[in-house]
Amino acid sequence: MTGMNMNERSKALEGIRLSAGNAGKLTVGTQSVHAEHCKRDKVSVVVCGRVGYEAALGFMLGENLADAIMIEPELDPYAIMRTAISVNYGDRGMLLICGSSEEEKSTVMAAGGLLEESGFNNEVVYVEDCIVPGDTEQMNAGYFHCVKIAGAAASSGMTLKETYYTVRKARNLVKSISVRAALTSGGRGRDDAGLFGEGTMEKIAFQLRQASRARTGDTVCTYISGAGGVSLSELGRVNYQLYRSLTERGIAVHDALINPVPVGAANADIAISMMLMPDELKKYYDMPCSALYYNKT
């Protein structure tokens, strides 16, 4: 959607809304999509940043998830402010979730300042989960886990501060990695099965375990998202290899999700996210939710 003007972008978003029927109760603007909720007395959750527009809409926007997602390629603090106000429920305040790039953080912080000046309480959580830094585009796949916890915590009646600290705790337990970036960082790489073969996935699983300090007896949730040139069968094979590598080491996989929707890039890459799942957060992760491509009952 980067090359579209505002009018064409609105049409594209409206087309996405129409595909969801009435179940999603989505409202489309020129720069964001909102989900209509029945419960009004709650903290509102707004996701900002270049997270892959279709993937973000499909997996993170809906009941007990995010209330709005910004889809403008170049974020603007006033647009974020307007979107947050449009989904403000009562006087509970707003939680803004964004990526860890300096541009995103500064823009969202500016939006938070504008909201404060206008009398709206808000907090900002940065998703800083990429464990192979140095790329121009970081793979913040951990957005999903943070939004899942945020939406459930807000819907459970938590205050803004309680929601903020709960999501920060979740954020600190999430690690993500780009398969292609991991292969350039040394160690075992490509094998006979190709880019996403068994040898590669053993290396990826090892790096995720090391970064998250997952040990035998721990429980984790995983989330795998493709980038343009990756087939669903390849995503399934990656999920199988990752699941097997973790469970063989005594690490229980509570949930293993695949997002088949491309996240913007047209190359063969996969973003893999893993979250350590303590009992105190499991109840929020397991709360029922409904989105365009993701439903949990």
Model confidence over 157-204: pLDDT tens digits? Answer: 999 999 999 999 999 999 888 776 555 554 444 444 456 677 778 888
Least confident range from 70-84, 115-129, 260-274: namely 260-274
Paired residues of 99 in beta bridges: 127
Among 171, 200, 217, residue at a domain's last position: 171
Q: Over 80: is that where the pLDDT of 254 sits?
A: yes
User: Is the model more confident about 198 or about 217?
Assistant: 217
Give the domain range for residue 98.
6-171
Q: What's the rounded mean pLDDT across residues 45-69?
A: 79
Angle at 291 between CA 288 and CA 292, to 5 degrees: 150
225 inside domain: yes
Dist CA 34 CA 29 (whole Å): 8
CATH code at 129?
Answer: 3.40.50.10440
Least confident range from 55-59, 158-162, 269-273: namely 55-59
Instruction: Please give the single-letter amino acid code of residue 92.
Output: R
Q: Over 50: is that where the pLDDT of 244 sits?
A: yes
Is 17 in the same domain as 136? yes
User: Is 7 exposed, middle or buried (CB count within 10 Å of its CB: 0-12, 13-18, 19+)?
Assistant: exposed
265 inside domain: yes
Is 155 in the same domain as 202? no
Q: Over 70: is that where the pLDDT of 136 sits?
A: no
Is 100 in the same domain as 20? yes
295 inside domain: no
**E strand spans, the chain:** 26-28, 32-35, 44-47, 68-70, 94-99, 122-127, 174-178, 219-228, 252-259, 268-276, 289-290, 295-296
Per-residue confidence (pLDDT) for residue 43, from 0 to 100: 94
Per-residue confidence (pLDDT) for residue 275, from 0 to 100: 93
Q: What's the rounded mean pLDDT across residues 229-255?
A: 88
Is 160 in the same domain as 26? yes
In contact, 228 and 264? CB cutoff 8 Å: yes
Dihedral Cα 58, 62, 68, 70, nearest 10 deg? 0
